[in-house]
Amino acid sequence: MLSPSYFLSIILILFLVGILGILFNRKNIILILMSIELLLLAINFNWVFFSFYLDDIIGQIFAILVLTVAASETAIGLALLVIYYRIRGNISIELANLIGG
Amino acid sequence: MYLLIILLPLLNSIIVGFFGRYLGKEGSSYISCLILFLTSILAWVAFIEIGLYGSDCYIEITPWIVCDYLVINWSFLFDSLTVVMLIIISSISCLVHTYSTAYMKFDPHKPRFMSYLSLFTFFMFLLVTADNFVQMFIGWEGVGLVSYLLISFWYTRLNANQSAIKAILVNKVGDIGLCLAMFLIFHTFKSLEYEVIFSLVAYKINSGSHLLNNNLNVITLISIFLFIGAVGKSAQLGLHTWLPDAMEGPTPVSALIHAATMVTAGVFLLVRCSPILEFSENILVCVSIIGALTCFFAATIGGFQYDLKKVIAFSTTSQLGYMVFILGISKYNVSMFHLANHAFFKALLFLSAGSVIHSLGDEQDMRRMGGINQILPYTYSVIFIASLSLVGFPFLTGFFSKDLILELAYVSKYSNITAIQSTFIYWLGTLSVFFTAYYSFRLLFLTFLNKSNSPRIIMQGVHEGSWFLLVPLLILAFGSIFFGYLFKDLFIGFGTEFWKNSIFFHPVTVTLIEVETIPTYVKLIPLLLSVTAIIIACLVNTSAKKVIVHLQLSMIGRKITFFFNKKWFLDKLFNTFLVFPLAKFGYSITLINLDRGLIEFIGPLGLANVLKRYANNLIQIQSGQLVHYIFFIVIAFFVLLNINVVFSLLSFQKLFESSLWIILFCTFIYTFLI
């Protein structure tokens, strides 16, 4: 069996990629949603890995729950995206500063 | 009856003050005269009962302030000292009320004037009859207040208002001294009642008190502060500047307040506190020296003034100097005797000066008077009596107290004063006698005997006042002639039992016997000096007039005259080095730099500026860009993690784990700062 640090570093890299994807993305909102999916995937990976590593089923239950939450979240996010697009005509993030202080 | 003495003037003040418009000028005058006459009769009855029959009276009304050690009652003490003050105040006040009815006849605000005069009398009674310091302090402040109201009685005059402010402010300096004395007394004796304090003084002679890290003798400190109080009220050198300026008020006010009663409150205070003063010998030295200096200082200035009332005002200051320096050599009864005598002849001098001013159409400058002795023989004779009495001419009232004061100052053997001090105060006092005689007769010459300098139209209208104006003068003239002789044995006779316990004499300071052993020529010196001064005054105003004018117009003579006429430049000195720098400090430092400057800067103004700047910075953060917000969230997340790590490394873990909200708060703040 591989050492946990390999798994954890992969998880961490996935997570960071998700975060940096949100941060450095300047073009459209879909990329943000995808990055969020990546974050949730990293978290799921984490749950499953620890569930296996610690030999405990609860982690996998949580992973399934996160899966459902991620699905519904994406659905709602895409719905919001469609509404946004219907009003503004684009999905650019840079132009989404309507309430700038 | 005793309470009636105190309450009648208050009653009169209330009646005339609040209902004067219904009573009218005449009605308020008659009521005031009647009530004050009744008061003075009662005061004389009290004098007979307490002073002559020796039945002291103590009336306790009700507790006023009761708080732990601090017990202050409304209670009145009538002993010998009090009744002496009572008869002086009530008699002078009654006569001044009567006089004012004629003097203020055409003044539109006469009821107010009468009300103030009565209120003054009430406060003065309160001052002298109190049996504790706090109640005394009410009277003490009250007379200051009424003094303010009366000096600025003609409130449309700028000079009167300025003088009133000056009087009350200079008095306040002394009041602070008295306040400090009261605090120290309470700190030391845990009481403010006279009887408790005075019976405990002997046990506290050596006890110290910490002031500014120095361990000072507490009795000495109390005496210093009491003396500062007396200096303020009795216009001794240093705080004397208000008294001549107080002459801006009407003349009856000057007679009542600034000659006979209010200025004697300081002397009264020191006499009342004789048990304290007797145990602080070094302060007594100070008292006598300052008194003697005041005496000399005021007497020299008096000879060079041209305002009729200012001459008499400086004469008052000079006589107060006598009273104070005789206090300094522990002859309290002599001081009280001179106070009583002085009240009579000084009130007479002021009232007759008022008569002169009144008849000359409110002219106060002596250079525009003269030649009215034929037209006003009555005023002339009473002012002559008053002047002779003031000079200390033998067998008039002033002689019995003033010459005794000088003789007592001469005696240094078997007494508590050193020879140098005795010589110093004796010669200052004696020289003052010379100047006193000089200015008294200069005043007589300039106003009555010289050729007239008044316009013809005024001289045609000169006449004596009505009977209300003249009768008080007559009574006071009798007082000026006979009072000293009649009351000599009672006040200062050998082994007189009049004072009983109201004045405390240290056994070593009783030197009344030694006075009789001093050489005859010493006793004659004051008389010879005053006769010389009278002759000089005659010469200056008659045959040697041209020489004197020539002398005065010479280079040095002009400077000397100017020096004395401008009151030794002390007013100028105070103004230049004390008042103006203080006013400037108050404006530029405390107002502009502190109140409007530093405190505003770190207070409201600075806070507003800082908030504005920070708010602008925060607005910059709220860009509306989604990416920025996400950036902050991520940063905050990592910071939160890092804080936990840092805290756990610093082993603050338990503290901060238990209070998670602090971490959250710190994160929040940190988020905003970056």
Number of domains in chain B: 2
Which chain B residue is nearest to residue A23, measuring alpha carbons? B627
Show the domain range for B324: 158-553
Contact B144, B179 (CB under 8 A): no
Q: What is the residue type of B477?
A: A
Q: Is residue B188 a part of any domain in this protein?
A: yes
The residues near A8 (Cβ < 8 Å, ≥ 6 apart) are A49
Which chain B residue is nearest to residue A16, measuring alpha carbons? B634
Residues B435 and B584 in one domain: no
Number of domains in chain A: 1
Q: Is residue A63 a part of any domain in this protein?
A: yes
Query: Rounded CA gap, B103 and B469, in Å?
Result: 7
Which chain B residue is nearest to residue A94, measuring alpha carbons? B625
Query: What number of other Cβ atoms are within 10 A of residue B427's Cβ?
Result: 16
Please judge whether B623 and A97 are an interchain contact, meaning their C-beta atoms are less than 8 angstroms apart. Answer: yes
Query: Per residue in B494-525, is it b (16+ CB within 10 Å) or e — as a string?
Result: eeeebbeebbbbeeebebbebbeeeeeeebeb
pLDDT at B453: 87
pLDDT at B671: 57
Q: Is B62 helix (H, G, I), strand (E, B) or coil?
A: strand
pLDDT at B658: 53
pLDDT at B670: 61
Lowest mean pLDDT among B46-60, B187-201, B295-309, B623-637: B623-637
The predicted-structure confidence for A27-56, as pLDDT tens digits, reads as follows 788 888 999 999 999 999 999 999 998 999
Residues B217 and B324 in one domain: yes
Q: Is B478 helix (H, G, I), strand (E, B) or coil?
A: helix
Q: Is residue A25 a part of any domain in this protein?
A: yes
Contact B347, B262 (CB under 8 A): no
Section B88-100 average pLDDT = 94
Least CB–CB distance from B624: residue in A22, A26, A99? A99
Residues B465 and B563 in one domain: no
Contact B387, B444 (CB under 8 A): yes
Query: Rounded CA gap, B473 and B484, in Å?
Result: 17
Q: Is residue A22 a part of any domain in this protein?
A: yes
Residues B590 and B513 in one domain: no
Domain boundary pick from B519, B553, B587: B553
Residues B472 and B598 in one domain: no
For residue B291, give both structure tokens: 């008194």
- Look up tokens 């007979």; give the residue: B48
Query: Rounded CA gap, B321 and B339, in Å?
Result: 11
pLDDT at B207 over 60: yes
Section B548-560 average pLDDT = 87
| Per-residue DSSP letter, A72 | H
Q: What is the residue type of B276?
A: I
Q: Check if B631 contacts A (Cβ < 8 Å).
A: yes
Residues B336 and B244 in one domain: yes
> Three-class SS string for B366-410?
HHHCCCCCCCCHHHHHHHHHHHHHHHCCCCCHHHHHHHHHHHHHH
Q: Which residues of B touch A100 (CB under 8 A)?
A: 622-625
Q: Is B177 helix (H, G, I), strand (E, B) or coil?
A: helix
Torsion angle (degrees, nearest 10) of CA B443, B445, B448, B453: -100
State how far the alpha carbon of B329 is from the alpha carbons of B81, B266, B280, B296, in Å.
18, 16, 12, 17
Q: Is residue B289 a part of any domain in this protein?
A: yes
The predicted-structure confidence for B349-361, as pLDDT tens digits, reads as follows 999 999 999 888 8
Q: Which residues of B touch A96 (CB under 8 A)?
A: 625-626
For residue B560, give both structure tokens: 């000397």
Q: Provide the shortest C-alpha distance from residue B628 to chain A (in Å).
A: 8
pLDDT at B649 over 80: no
Query: Rounded CA gap, B251 and B382, in Å?
Result: 16
Q: Provide the shortest C-alpha distance from residue A57 to chain B (in Å).
A: 28
Which chain B residue is nearest to residue A29, measuring alpha carbons? B626
The predicted-structure confidence for B338-384, as pLDDT tens digits, reads as follows 999 999 999 999 999 999 998 888 888 988 888 888 889 999 999 99
Query: Rounded CA gap, B391 and B526, in Å?
Result: 9
Q: Is residue A100 a part of any domain in this protein?
A: no
pLDDT at B673: 56
User: What interhelical angle do B264-272 and B110-129 show, nearest 10?
Assistant: 20
DSSP letters, B580-623, are: HHHHHIIIIIIIIIIIIIIHHHHTHHHHHHHHHHHHHHHHHH--
Q: Is residue A98 a part of any domain in this protein?
A: no
> Three-class SS string for B283-333?
HHHHHHHHHHHHHHHHHHHHCCCCEHHHHHHHHHHHHHHHHHHHHHCCCHH
Residues B311 and B186 in one domain: yes
Section A5-19 average pLDDT = 88
Query: Rounded CA gap, B178 and B138, in Å?
Result: 12
pLDDT > 70: what percent of chain B? Answer: 94
Which chain A residue is nearest to residue B616, measuring alpha carbons? A101
Q: Which residues of A touch B626 (CB under 8 A)?
A: 32, 93, 96-97
Residues 69-98 of A with CB under 8 A from B: 93-94, 96-98
Query: Rounded CA gap, B398 and B335, in Å?
Result: 12
pLDDT at B640 over 60: yes
Which CATH number covers residue A38? 1.10.287.3510
For residue B45, give both structure tokens: 């009855």
Please judge whether B624 and A97 are an interchain contact, meaning their C-beta atoms are less than 8 angstroms apart. Answer: yes
Please judge whether B624 and A98 are an interchain contact, meaning their C-beta atoms are less than 8 angstroms apart. Answer: yes
Please judge whether B624 and A26 are an interchain contact, meaning their C-beta atoms are less than 8 angstroms apart. Answer: no
Residues B180 and B293 in one domain: yes
The predicted-structure confidence for B406-442, as pLDDT tens digits, reads as follows 988 888 766 667 778 888 889 999 999 999 999 999 9
Section B130-137 average pLDDT = 93
Query: What number of other Cβ atoms are within 10 A of residue B195's Cβ?
Result: 13
| Per-residue DSSP letter, B542 | T
Residues 20-79 of B with CB under 8 A from A: none
- Residue B240: closest CA among B289, B297, B283, B311: B297
Residues 8-37 of A with CB under 8 A from B: 19, 22-23, 25-26, 32
Please judge whether B626 and A97 are an interchain contact, meaning their C-beta atoms are less than 8 angstroms apart. Answer: yes
Q: Is residue B662 a part of any domain in this protein?
A: no
Residues B229 and B288 in one domain: yes
Residues B562 and B549 in one domain: no
Query: Per residue in B400-411, is it b (16+ CB within 10 Å) or e — as a string?
Result: bbbbbbbbbbbb
pLDDT at B630: 80
Please judge whether B625 and A23 are an interchain contact, meaning their C-beta atoms are less than 8 angstroms apart. Answer: no
Q: Is residue A11 a part of any domain in this protein?
A: yes
Lowest mean pLDDT among B222-226, B246-250, B286-290, B549-553: B549-553
Query: Rounded CA gap, B145 and B148, in Å?
Result: 5
Contact A23, B637 (CB under 8 A): no
Show the domain range for A66: 4-88
Average model confidence (pLDDT) across chain B: 88
Q: Provide the shortest C-alpha distance from residue A1 to chain B (in Å).
A: 30
Least CB–CB distance from A100: residue in B623, B630, B634? B623
Q: Is residue B245 a part of any domain in this protein?
A: yes
- Residue B254: closest CA among B332, B311, B323, B325: B311
The residues near B628 (Cβ < 8 Å, ≥ 6 apart) are B621
| Per-residue DSSP letter, B363 | -
Q: Is residue A59 a part of any domain in this protein?
A: yes
Residues B261 and B324 in one domain: yes
pLDDT at B126: 94
Query: Rounded CA gap, A68 and B264, in Å?
Result: 102
Taking the mean position of all CA atoms in its chain, how far away is CA A33?
7
Query: What number of other Cβ atoms are within 10 A of residue B366's Cβ?
Result: 23
Per-residue confidence band for B271, with pLDDT thresholds at 50, 70 and 90: very high
Least CB–CB distance from B625: residue in A19, A22, A97? A97
Residues B319 and B407 in one domain: yes
